[in-house]
């Protein structure tokens, strides 16, 4: 199986002039993308970066993020893409835990320099967006002028390619380790069921630092497509105009993406006739939204999908023609993947019996970075314990039925309640805190905090939110804050989140 | 309080959770610096429609009208009777 860097090289040779990436007024063809990646690899080599060492990419979706990704791989390095919206309190533990040697970030980033100052050993800083970097950093332009490696070596299939942090700015950061073979296998399976080829083009709004966005990026580069980066989901009309103008054949989103588009833009008034497929992952989409999407885009095949970062990205997809007959299902395992449901005793469950969803395949991660205990907890006997609950029907279609973890899914983001709780508890006057996700029509879930306040502190909701704003990415700031006298707890003192969720839902009920 | 001040107050209170007027400059990009995301933009538009009795058309939802306090102020002024 060809690894992703080999596929990019192949496209640079066979179609050097074809547009690879379009970002606003800028674009880059396959030959230039490849030569830029080789230059970046040469720069890393010149900095003394050795195979296996980590390069953190703290960038929004942009051409430089892709050059740095492939260039790092050509130098044998491991990329660590980090959420560019995060704050210094997030970056510092991630960078420390991954023991990164190089950090690539944008010139107007204020939180990365603050995080770097907190580290025991300062990595090499490379700044995108300025021709002249400060004395303690290098400029992107300088890196692009480096002598490319004399001979590019495609990495070993089993070598580590990427570490993706799924959570844990407090406590233990969890970095999912994905090999080059993991990424190639998942890309090949996705390319197969979407039937992607070089005639496709996709407009993407999904961040590359999440597994879904990364899979969209790499699958389309692997087949030699044009990938159009847009940042303006905030302006849905402009996004739809991009889809029409670029004659995009594909579009990928999370449920909230489609709710925004359907609610704000009359899709039928735009020429989206080239759009042959749409993919949806990142949490369950309401059947009503799926129905509206099909009515608005009758020519597009709609793929409902399920996956995990621990499985590179994708585990199952529902064949579009089964949307009616298998409503609510996330479909069949993709090529090379097996799904098994196990009951409480660990035995294989019969069809229609809800149990723990297990997965096996060439896309399952190597483990969590430098955390054998956490790795052993989810990787057992060659199977990935997903943490999701569900059942298989008689045809082997997977239906999800909840999750054991407390992770909140808001828009395209995953938020662990602990991250928010740890930030809020730092505010003097907060006695106790518990954070949950509550249902939201657009975002799937939004964050709600229950706080017990020291009466003498005079804290207001606005003060708590302002405190969060300084410490947390905007999507982690609670939309609702409720002051309570006490929090419901178990005998051992653990907060009963389920009780808070149930109480909130009960109040919303008519 | 004029429209600019009203709009700035709304942005400060609802997205930055502060009353410090120096927290954002009138010309700053609200999108680029992460002050307002996609759902925040819908809340802002809903607020403008309610507060000024205007209707924001889909074709008017563009950065030129909404990316800064300056832009929003000018847009609102253009929608109100002279």
pLDDT tens profile A422-462: 899 999 999 999 999 998 888 888 999 999 999 888 899 98
Distance (Å) from the alpha carbon of B38 to chain A's nearest alpha carbon: 4
Distance (Å) from the alpha carbon of A465 to chain B's nearest alpha carbon: 6
pLDDT value of position A504: 80
What gap in Å lies between CA A179 and CA B17, rounded to an integer? Answer: 42
pLDDT value of position A422: 87
Instruction: Name beta bridge partners: A126.
Output: A104, A138
**Residue A62 with chain B: CB contacts under 8 Å:** none
Instruction: Name beta bridge partners: A27.
Output: A22
What gap in Å lies between CA A191 and CA A219, rounded to an integer? Answer: 6
Mean pLDDT of chain A, nearest integer? 92
**Residue B18 with chain A: CB contacts under 8 Å:** 466, 469
Query: B39–A411: do the CB atoms touch at under 8 Å?
Result: yes
Q: Which residue of A has its CA nearest to B37?
A: A234
pLDDT tier at A224 (50, 70, 90 boundaries)?
Answer: very high
Query: A234–B17: do the CB atoms touch at under 8 Å?
Result: no
Choose among B18, B40, B59: nearest Cβ to A237: B59
With a cut of 90, say whether residue A247 has pLDDT above it: yes
| A238–B contact, CB cutoff 8 A | yes
**Residue A238 with chain B: CB contacts under 8 Å:** 61-63
Distance (Å) from the alpha carbon of B80 to chain A's nearest alpha carbon: 22
- CB-facing half-sphere around the CA of A398: CA atoms within 13 A: 30
**Residue A411 with chain B: CB contacts under 8 Å:** 37-39
Q: Is the predicted ipTM greater than 0.85, yes or no?
A: no
**Residue A293 · residue A167 · CB < 8 Å:** no
| ∠ CA A388-A390-A393, rounded to 5° | 150
A21-25, A52-56, A179-183, B34-38: range with lowest mean pLDDT: B34-38
Query: A265–B39: do the CB atoms touch at under 8 Å?
Result: no
**Residue B63 with chain A: CB contacts under 8 Å:** 232, 235, 238
Task: Report which of A270, A264, A220, A262 is spatially closest to residue A244, judged by C-alpha positions.
Answer: A270
pLDDT value of position A443: 86
Phi, psi of A57 (to 5 degrees): -115, 110
Mean pLDDT of A110-133: 90
pLDDT value of position A509: 57
B interface with A, Cβ–Cβ < 8 A, is 13, 15-18, 31, 34-42, 58-59, 61-63, 66
pLDDT value of position A169: 47
Query: B36–A265: do the CB atoms touch at under 8 Å?
Result: no
Choose among B15, B18, B63: nearest Cβ to A235: B63
**Residue A85 with chain B: CB contacts under 8 Å:** 34
What gap in Å lies between CA B51 and CA B7, rounded to an integer? Answer: 10
| A509–B contact, CB cutoff 8 A | no
Task: Report which of A422, A429, A424, A421 is spatially closest to residue A497, judged by C-alpha positions.
Answer: A421
Helix (H) or strand (E) holding A282: none
Distance (Å) from the alpha carbon of A86 to chain B's nearest alpha carbon: 11
Query: A465–B17: do the CB atoms touch at under 8 Å?
Result: yes
Residue ranges of A 11-30 with Cβ closer than 8 A to chain B: none
**Residue B66 · residue B41 · CB < 8 Å:** yes
| A480–B contact, CB cutoff 8 A | no
| A260–B contact, CB cutoff 8 A | yes
pLDDT tier at A154 (50, 70, 90 boundaries)?
Answer: confident
pLDDT value of position A455: 85
pLDDT tens digits in sequence order for chain B, 82 residues long:
799 999 999 999 888 888 888 889 999 989 877 788 888 888 899 899 999 999 998 889 888 999 999 999 999 999 998 7
pTM score, two decimals?
0.90
What gap in Å lies between CA A278 and CA A289, rounded to an integer? Answer: 13
Task: Report which of A327, A236, A341 is spatially closest to residue A285, judged by C-alpha positions.
Answer: A327
**Residues A265-315: tens digit of each pLDDT:** 999 899 999 999 999 998 888 888 999 999 999 999 999 999 999 999 999
Choose among B36, B40, B62: nearest Cβ to A238: B62
Instruction: Name beta bridge partners: A403.
Output: A388
**Residue B36 with chain A: CB contacts under 8 Å:** 234
With a cut of 90, say whether residue A194 has pLDDT above it: yes
Query: B39–A266: do the CB atoms touch at under 8 Å?
Result: no
Q: Which residue of B has its CA nearest to A110?
A: B33
pLDDT value of position A171: 58
Choose among A237, A442, A462: nearest Cβ to B39: A442
Count the neighbouring beta carbons within 10 Å of the beta carbon of residue B28.
16
Task: Report which of A449, A422, A446, A424 is spatially closest to residue A435, judged by C-alpha positions.
Answer: A449
Query: Buried b vs exposed e over B38-58: b needs ≥16 C-beta within 10 Å?
Result: bbbbbebbeebeeebebebee
| A239–B contact, CB cutoff 8 A | no
Query: A264–B42: do the CB atoms touch at under 8 Å?
Result: yes
Distance (Å) from the alpha carbon of A244 to chain B's nearest alpha carbon: 15
With a cut of 70, say whether residue A466 has pLDDT above it: yes
């Amino acid at each position: 199986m060809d690894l992703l860097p080999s596929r990019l090289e192949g496209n640079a040779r066979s179609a050097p002039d074809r547009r690879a990436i379009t970002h606003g007024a800028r674009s880059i063809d396959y030959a230039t993308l490849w030569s830029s990646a080789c230059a970046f690899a040469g720069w890393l080599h010149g900095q003394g970066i050795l195979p296996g060492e980590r390069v953190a990419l703290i960038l929004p979706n942009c051409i430089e993020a892709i050059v740095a990704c492939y260039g790092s791989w050509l130098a044998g390095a491991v990329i660590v893409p980090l959420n560019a919206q995060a704050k210094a309190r997030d970056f510092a533990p991630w960078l420390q835990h991954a023991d990164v040697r190089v950090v690539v970030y944008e010139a107007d980033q204020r939180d990365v320099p603050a995080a770097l100052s907190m580290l025991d050993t300062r990595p090499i800083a490379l700044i995108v967006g300025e021709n002249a970097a400060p004395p303690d950093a290098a400029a992107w332009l300088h890196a692009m002028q480096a002598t490319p490696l004399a001979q590019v070596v495609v990495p070993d299939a089993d070598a580590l390619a990427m570490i993706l942090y799924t959570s844990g700015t407090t406590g233990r950061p969890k970095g999912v380790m994905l090999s080059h073979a993991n990424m190639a296998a998942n890309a090949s399976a996705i390319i197969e069921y979407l039937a992607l080829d070089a005639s496709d083009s996709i407009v993407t709004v999904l961040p590359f630092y999440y597994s879904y966005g990364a899979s969209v990026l790499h699958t389309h580069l692997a087949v030699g497509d044009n990938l159009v980066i847009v940042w303006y989901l905030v302006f849905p009309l402009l996004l739809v105009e991009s889809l029409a103008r670029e004659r995009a054949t594909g579009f990928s989103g999370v449920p909230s993406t489609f709710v925004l588009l359907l609610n704000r833009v009359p899709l039928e008034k735009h020429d989206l006739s080239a759009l042959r497929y749409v993919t949806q992952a990142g949490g369950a989409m309401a059947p009503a939204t799926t129905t509206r999407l099909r009515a608005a885009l009758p020519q597009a095949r709609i793929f409902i999908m399920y996956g995990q970062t621990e499985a590179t990205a994708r585990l199952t997809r529902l064949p579009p023609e089964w949307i009616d007959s298998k409503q609510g299902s996330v479909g069949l395992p993709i090529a090379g993947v097996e799904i098994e449901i196990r009951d409480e005793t660990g035995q294989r469950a019969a069809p229609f019996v809800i149990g723990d969803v297990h997965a096996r395949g060439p896309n399952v991660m190597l483990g969590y970075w430098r955390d054998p205990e956490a790795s052993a907890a989810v990787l057992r006997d060659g199977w990935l314990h997903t943490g999701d609950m569900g059942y298989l029907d008689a045809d082997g279609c997977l239906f999800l039925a909840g999750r054991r973890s407390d992770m909140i899914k808001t828009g395209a983001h995953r938020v662990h309640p602990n991250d928010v709780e740890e930030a809020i508890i730092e505010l003097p006057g907060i006695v106790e805190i518990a954070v949950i996700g509550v249902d939201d029509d657009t975002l799937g879930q939004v964050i709600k905090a229950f706080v017990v306040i020291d009466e003498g502190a005079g804290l207001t909701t606005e003060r708590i939110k302002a405190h969060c704003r300084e410490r947390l990415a905007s999507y982690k700031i609670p939309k609702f804050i409720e002051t309570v006298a006490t929090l419901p707890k178990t005998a051992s003192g653990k907060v009963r989140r389920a009780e808070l969720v149930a109480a909130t839902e009960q109040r919303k009920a008519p | 309080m004029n429209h600019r001040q009203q709009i700035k107050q709304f942005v400060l209170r609802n997205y930055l959770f502060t009353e410090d007027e120096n927290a954002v400059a009138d010309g700053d990009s609200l999108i680029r610096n992460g002050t307002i995301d996609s759902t925040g933009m819908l809340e802002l538009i809903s607020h403008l429609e309610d507060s000024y009795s205007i209707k924001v058309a889909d074709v008017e939802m563009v950065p030129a009208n909404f990316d800064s306090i300056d832009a929003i102020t000018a847009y609102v002024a253009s929608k109100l009777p002279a």
